[in-house]
Structure 1
């Protein structure tokens, strides 16, 4: 179709992607009534019931109503396995289908970002202020930690009154309490706050919920802004490519995007900036489709190279979770509750009347952060511990009482990539995580499985007579454990880094320190893809923090 025949809609700002970062960006940019803002979301509205019930992630992941339904390429480190790679496709993005865990990471993550970019505002001290700018923490509801009455140290790290609700989980399990005690026996101290800069310790995760309901980015940031006449939200609006033109200085300029909105292709124009917040998979895909990426890849697909940016789609990092399963005795688990009709009825009734119990559960309830071996300078492992077990995500629970102890390497050295497979925007990109690709990652995998075994043999777990079901005690050597990790490990859904920011002189960085695309005017990327290094924990809330910081820069023209 001749581009001149497209109907053009004019805005000041276009935000591509209605996920965790995009929802906050749309809110902050439209707070000024003089800004006309368009938010584009490829998925549908978040009015699907299972989005809002915490356990509904089971029905959202692997469901084309809410998930992009991506798969990885066959992965050598996983012994040739192909993984399902969920990404949120609805308003709220991944915050509508994820595990709801509120986790910032470690202070060193952000201090390293500041070092790599040369921008001190990325450091921990300044980033805490950006976390607090939208935080609404349950312990601050009365202006102080109700357990200690102290609003001093705690309020240095947390805030009340923001849009992003953080609450305590509404459940408890004896077997998880015992695991916490067992972890304490091997030197992992108990903690009630993973988010003060050093998350070492063991305790229950805080979650993004409100009164037993999932609290996603759409509720938090779009609900208060939807009535603004200067904010337009299009759902079922997938970007085909960016509209790149020649600017006054002969430099490429992003003037908006071509978007398929409910079956009709439209050209939308941005007078000030286009903000790409489509996520660690879709943001590099859109850049490459638009001619910003590795010249060889684009040329092979018949796409004109506008900006030869060889690292678009590179630097993919993710947390690989190794799932160990233990049979237990003498205690209740989800396996025993959910595998009976009476148990299911009790679970449903508890949620209906109390908004608590298993239906209010995040996918993981108890967490721990520790070192894989004493030589590590900081906590480099994260545990997700669950009172249930199954062969693989999406399958039925086992018919015996059991628990799952999952552990992941927080700082993988392996790097993967995202590359478009076609010039057709509807074709999924090739996702190649390259898990366990380095000796360091393989050693941490083996060490972490040994540490799981150590915890499970402590006296606090003895009453349950835990029996290792997976991977199996017959596997003992580094080589055996690494191979088994490849057989049983899975993504924990934390892809980042594919459009990384860096110092202005860093040729491997796609973005400058303020997230502007190098070589293109009026185009910025704001989502998890900008992270030069993955955070030491779950990545959703750090992504929202990135958007908080970026929104100020956009509004200030910085």
Structure 2
């Protein structure tokens, strides 16, 4: 068995893992090994923004997870795509750059997580960012992560924004500025028509560092732990590469950045998790932590599809060979057009009730439509999609291993709509979306509502629609919850409770789901984790 030694081992080269690789190896005294189960990010569709429509369904770069049958959704198993490639899910996601609401992070701090309030995390968002619009109180420039505007407007998006304004939802040019509430165009992690994943932003520019080693095709089996009781420590990682088990030993720390599905899976495979679950699969209990794999949260969406009078959608552009050629040429020559779109060119954040102190739903506007099956195809009629998701769901689920085999996917139970409050918020969001769609100027573009259809008029009918057609927005978090209570997994410095030399740094540490897309917060977590690790290292050295 081959074994090497390093200072830091980072498990997973995803949204947070690539950040850690860059920041920890910036000091040449630190030697860093990164273990990534997937391969190099060579697939062309990774780099073309609208390629997410292909990467979501490509098993070569995607773990292709599914939930267990969801009881409240008629027993449907819901897709949970996760990146299996350098950059992780930042290489296959919809690119939207959304930080969430200041109250989300202040809520984390109120739960006892010192240093995680919005004033604490804002500097790390800014440190990561290279904002196309320039620096201000909310944004940074010169960071690795490019954040850009859509190169050109779209008539359906403009109409949606105007109609939302007519319904009292204010126009907002910056969802990541002084306030989130409002409608407008989304920004994304892209630059000059190309995706800016964390692999491209953080990892590839430093791959030549002699103190950084990135191992692709490295399937982690377990974290190596030594000692017992208060002396329990992570000392390395066992993984399989090219059919052989290998080990890398960590002089300082092991940092787990596998994401909300695989970080708890790896901890459980290592003997860290709910004791009864581990014994069920004949895994020796090294540390009984009931919270490992619990507290799973995700955004769920309902999708309204509207047929348009005029052929102004991507559906129309893609119906003929001439349109496809035109789209390809525009992208190659100008980096404009549909190939440069991200997942929702416009959208916004709104309140379903006037008494709420902040938005509780998010809209995404897509100038195309599809049934979103395993291999989705655009509809053969002119149409666009307007989605609604609940920002802060009450339902909670779990991620639990199904065997001691690291290659077997864990059982993912989202428990969507298990809390009855969730379906009411989503239904109210659909009612507001329909109200916007029935208001000029957007109403003037619409021929009819194709889904759920104009015959669905009652809240009960919308409930049925959500249970039959509702989907994930692919934002799983929370399964290695940060906090000090017995159901938490890591402390406010992301150290696993009761195990020295082991941290978790990814979206799994979120105590509660943030109000928006999760990639930007995951990158911030990586930045903040690296800062804490280096601070602790300096303090120990002193």
Relative to the length of structure 1, the TM-score reads: 0.94
Distance 2:488 2:262 in 1: 18
CA RMSD of aligned residues (A): 1.2
Q: How many residues align?
A: 536
Equivalent residue in structure 2 for 1:524, among 489, 503, 507: 503
**Post-superposition offset of 1:475:** 2.2
Equivalent residues of 1:107, 1:197 under 8 A apart: no
Residue 188 of structure 1 corresponds to 169
Farther off after superposition, 368-377 or 510-519: 368-377
Distance 1:365 1:264 in 2: 45
Distance 1:222 1:464 in 2: 44
| In the alignment, structure 1 residue 499 sits paired with structure 2 residue 499 | no
Distance 1:379 1:171 in 2: 27
Distance 1:327 1:201 in 2: 25
Distance 2:311 2:365 in 1: 16
Distance 1:193 1:364 in 2: 15
Residue 123 of structure 2 corresponds to 129
Equivalent residues of 2:230, 2:499 under 8 A apart: no
**Post-superposition offset of 1:331:** 4.5
Residue 207 of structure 1 corresponds to 188
**Post-superposition offset of 1:171:** 3.1
Residue 421 of structure 2 corresponds to 440
Residue 363 of structure 1 corresponds to 343
Farther off after superposition, 461-470 or 121-130: 461-470
Equivalent residues of 2:306, 2:383 under 8 A apart: yes
Residue 204 of structure 2 corresponds to 223
Deviations 1:226-251 (A, max 9, x none): 1110000000001001101116x752
| In the alignment, structure 1 residue 337 sits paired with structure 2 residue 320 | no
Residue 133 of structure 2 corresponds to 139
Distance 1:316 1:465 in 2: 38
Residue 255 of structure 1 corresponds to 235
Alignment of 1:311-390 (within 5 A): 311-390=291-370
**Post-superposition offset of 1:50:** 1.4
SS in 2 for 1:467: strand
**Post-superposition offset of 1:78:** 1.4
Equivalent residues of 1:294, 1:308 under 8 A apart: yes
- What are structure 1's unaligned runs of at least 5 residues? 1-5, 144-154
Alignment of 1:335-484 (within 5 A): 335-393=315-373, 394-484=375-465
Cα distance change, pair 309–181 in 1 and its aligned pair in 2 (3 A) = same
Residue 110 of structure 1 corresponds to 105
Residue 540 of structure 2 corresponds to none
SS in 1 for 2:30: coil
Equivalent residues of 1:174, 1:331 under 8 A apart: no
SS in 1 for 2:240: strand
SS in 1 for 2:137: helix
Relative to the length of structure 2, the TM-score reads: 0.97
**Post-superposition offset of 1:118:** 3.7
Distance 1:54 1:509 in 2: 36
**Post-superposition offset of 1:117:** 2.7
Distance 2:475 2:10 in 1: 22
| In the alignment, structure 1 residue 265 sits paired with structure 2 residue 245 | yes
* Greater than 6 Å deviation, 4+ residue runs: none
SS in 1 for 2:21: helix
Equivalent residues of 1:236, 1:261 under 8 A apart: yes
Distance 2:291 2:123 in 1: 31
Equivalent residue in structure 1 for 2:88, among 90, 93, 98: 93
